[in-house]
């Protein structure tokens, strides 16, 4: 039997953190970086509202770790000019 975490429990908050990491990695969702970031920030704000500061801080770490570098963004822009 699968364990179901109670909304607002520590286990639930940790599940939210795991969910966010998958989203930031682009797993299970088809969205741009901005779209994924919007989802992640919504979850982060909800965790902060519920006083799950540790999980919210880890989300912030993962955002910075996985955000596209400016150089990558510039390259994408140049490619779209040539091929778009």
The pLDDT tens digits for 11-41 are 999 999 999 999 999 998 999 999 999 999 9
DSSP state of 26: T
Q: Is 59:43 a contact under the CB 8 Å cutoff?
A: yes
Tokens 């920030």, residue located: 41
**Whole-prediction pTM:** 0.75
Q: Does pLDDT of 78 surpass 60? A: no
Out of 5-9, 20-24, 74-78, the most confident range is: 20-24
Mean pLDDT rounded to a whole number for the chain: 86
Helix (H, G, I), strand (E, B) or coil at 51: coil
Confidence check: pLDDT of 81 > 90: no
């Amino acid at each position: 039997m699968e364990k179901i975490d109670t909304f607002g429990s520590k286990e639930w908050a940790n599940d939210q953190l795991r969910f966010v990491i998958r989203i930031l990695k682009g797993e299970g969702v088809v969205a741009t970086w901005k779209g994924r970031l919007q989802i992640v920030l919504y979850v982060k704000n909800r965790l902060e509202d519920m006083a799950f500061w540790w999980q919210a801080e880890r989300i912030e770490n993962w955002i910075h770790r996985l955000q596209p570098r400016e150089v990558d963004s510039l390259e994408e822009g140049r490619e779209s000019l040539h091929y778009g």
